[in-house]
Amino acid sequence: MKKLFLFSLIFLITRQLAAQRAMVDFNGGWKFYLGDDSTASQPGYNDNAWRQLDLPHDWSIEGSFSEKHPATFNEGALPAGIGWYSKEFTIPETSRGKQVSIYFEGVYKNSEVWINGHYLGKRPSGYISFYYPLSPYLKWGKEKNRIAVRVDNSAQPDSRWYTGSGIYRNVWLITTSAIAVDHWGTTIATPRINNSSAAVAVRLAIVNKSGKPRPITVQLVVSDAAGRRVATKTTAQLTVQDSVTDLSDVLTVARPQLWSVRKPVLYSLKTIIRSGGQVLDVCETPFGIRSFYFDAAKGFFLNGKYLKILGVCNHHDLGALGAAVNEKALERQLRLLKDMGCNAIRTAHNPPAPQLLALCDKMGFLVMDEAFDMWVKRKNRQDYHLDFEAWHKKDLEDQVRRDRNHPSVFIWSIGNEIREQFDSSGTRITRELVNIVKGLDTTRPVTSALTENIPEKNFIYQSGALDLLGFNYKPEAYPDLPSKFPGQKLFASETGSALATRGHYDMPSDSARRWPPDSKGPFTGGNPDFTVSAYDNTFAYWGASHEAAWKAVKKYDFIAGLFAWSGFDFLGEPVPYQWPARSAYYGIIDLAGFPKDVYYLYQSEWTNKPVLHLFPHWNWTPGKSVDVWAYYNEADEVELYLNGKSLGVRKKEGDSLHVMWRVPFEPGTLKAVSRKNGHTVLTKEIRTAGPPAKIRLVADNKRLKADGKDLLFVTVGITDANGIPVPTADKEVRFSLNGPGLIAGVDNGSQTSTESFKAPRRKAMNGLCLAIIQSTRQAGKLVLTATADGLEPASLVVESK
């Protein structure tokens, strides 16, 4: 009897689990062909000669740099073109009668999809997520299905920055019962919050594709971060028709823990649909409990407390990895920004990868979720303006549906520097776009990043539809904004556009450089080697130094915060230069993920942890006059010493955020000591390095996860015989890797290097380069060895488990 009971229980559990949704990683086992073949979508097509790979994949980053590529240096000087992907797979008989769909998080661009020769559709946008139902066209059991995807990024130029090409985000195979919560069919809001309780308002869209009405009950379960149930509610029985049924309810969470940038507490909502005792669907949605508002005079408040928005703008590429999304690489970027004191991200200028938003939820970042870089009026011949009229509504709706449950998302942006600001069509389109957003989410403000700050000239503002006004640049105009735009809530949606090459310094440092000085033709000035000084004194004509831009925002409470341009260098848009420059100089952090000096300006201002950053390096020609800067906080003053001799004490004067000494160079040790009330806070030393002698490898983690996705970022430094970093070293470093892993990319942060990101070698740039190691699905020991002519080699051992 016990055995029969146990068998029955196992059968019941198995049956119920089989009925629930499955979201399967569909990234493995694809084939790829770079080129075009009009027959590649047909059943029986022979793709045996195609390359085998796993997704996400960006074929452009694998190519060679050339000024002749149609995408031009403004898009990274890498190839684009047309590519095909295919995959064979089986669907078990147990899934017959269920709803099977394929979910693409992003394909750049003009993707077309076929299943077993049946055309599913086209999606022009390269940034939006989308899905297709597969069930009507599937074969079941042992018969193989074949999905084919054509990606067309051949029409160029189509962007102002590097886009990548291919299925560069994740793909999922989703199986649900015929009755289930619709895709993006859960909406969660927290309209009432106090210390004792929070109301969690839930709206569901439940689809019934069974072909007949059916009675169901819906159970809602809220769990805290530890998995404990904190609220539950079950509906009375209702009948779902052969359509979409909307359901709304409110749960109460006692003593809620609020999501914030300092303590990003997450909850989860589990929706369980039952019928006749059978579980039809279990859908889980993470969310956070928080409230916020903007005040026209006082700025931004999160959970009732004042918070200055300390943000950066980021494009979507991941340096040497290109556009191919990797969660570990995104996490590394966010960790660097978090340590700097950053608390907000602007997704410039497109819908981001879902993984970025999930990480921002988890790590405590606010997100300005941006939709478009252009509307009807183009910025490039082949850009999204060609598709705006036909696709903007669908794309914007899908973005809001996908992202509206993320607690990190606090602003919707419908555009960046849109050219319709300057004619009456801007008023009409703004109202339409805002209405689209508000039709799906009324809990967040809508903005557009504006450039025109004269009200009568700005037709987007004149629409009266925006909840917030974000202004790009022009900090000198901030004092007049409240009078020009009375009652409006304001923030600096883009600031800076300061330029720097990590580790490069031009003297003197105390004069501003506008590179380029205007928009009149190509810039012919600058440095012959296409470098820009890292002293934070060089910026584009429309911008300002990081220091000046931040001071302007810091000064006024009515400016709710800023998004600095940009958090990281990115591929493309190499202002002020043209080819052979192929990536940006704007970043606070370089393309390889190495902080530039200005990183410590922000860290000294945006954090309370003690900071003392001394620069530049101390390898110069004897007698040369060198400007020595220090960023510091939590101290009254800094004293500088050279070889034990004091060069004087400096204190920040006025609103200056750094101190400076002009020092004739002599070899030895430069030392800075910061003090508060006469007591030492921090001490920093920079020593003159001898000739390059050794390689030093430092990994950002001690182990890898053997999942085929995990990454290890290895900083490769060149030192002298005593271990002192050599700041001018440019040796080529060669890499070999033994064990279950691969070298996913190499970089050095140079904006002009035409070396391949995928080669097992890289020249150091100002003493540093980077190797990125990726795990496989096999566990074992990996050994990375780095060698260079004339240098003592180095090895690094790591376990992949």
> Which residues are tagged catalytic?
417, 494
Residue 482: asked if its preceding bond is cis (omega within 30°), the reply is no
Kindly state the DSSP code that residue 316 receives in the 8-state scheme: S
In eight-state DSSP terms, residue 555 is H
Interatomic CA distance for residues 412 and 753, integer angstroms:
36
Neighbours of 683 (CB within 10 A): 14
> CA-CA distance, 417 to 609, in Å (whole number)?
36
- Of 598, 574, 618, 785, nearest in space to 75 by CA: 574
Query: Amino acid letter at 114?
Result: W
Q: Which amino acid is at 460?
A: I
CB 65 within 8 A of CB 211: no
Residue whose C-alpha is closest to residue 160's, from 324, 318, 348: 348
Cα-based distances in Å from 198 to 45, 253, 261, 442, 679: 56, 5, 19, 18, 47
Give CB contacts under 8 A, 24+ apart, made by 430-434.
430/459, 430/460, 430/463, 430/465, 430/466, 431/463, 431/465, 433/371, 433/392, 433/396, 434/463, 434/465, 434/466
Concatenating the DSSP letter of every residue in 591-614 gives: TTSPBPTHHHHHHHHH--S--EEE
- The CA distance from 375 to 392, in Å, is 8
Distance (Å, whole) CA 240 – CA 234? 16
CA distances from 237 to 217, 279, 280, 714 (A): 5, 14, 14, 57
In the chain, the amino acid numbered 319 is G
In terms of residues, how long is the chain? 801
Percent of residues in the chain assigned helix, strand, coil, to nearest 5: 15, 40, 45
Distance of CA 237 to the CA centre of its chain: 43
Handedness of CA 760, 85, 39, 71 (dihedral sign): negative
Rounded to whole angstroms, how far apart are CA atoms 694 and 792?
5
Buried b (16+ CB within 10 A) or exposed e, 300-330: bebeeeebbbbbbbbbbbbbbbbbbbbbbbb
Q: Which residues contact 573 (CB under 8 A, 6 or more apart)?
A: 74, 160, 161, 584, 586
DSSP secondary structure letter of residue 96: T
Q: Where are the alpha helices (DSSP H) in 556-597?
A: none
- Contact (CB, 8 A) for 148 and 112: no
Nearest to 101 by CA among 139, 141, 126, 130: 130
**58 touches 165 (CB < 8 A):** yes
Question: CB-side exposure of 230: number of CA atoms within 13 Å?
Answer: 23
How far is residue 380 from each of residues 383, 516, 573, 654, measured CA to CA in Å?
5, 21, 13, 44
- 17 — phi, psi (to 5°)? -65, -40
Name residue 795's beta-bridge partners: 785
Quote the crossing angle between the two packed helices 385-403 and 425-438, to the nearest 10°.
30
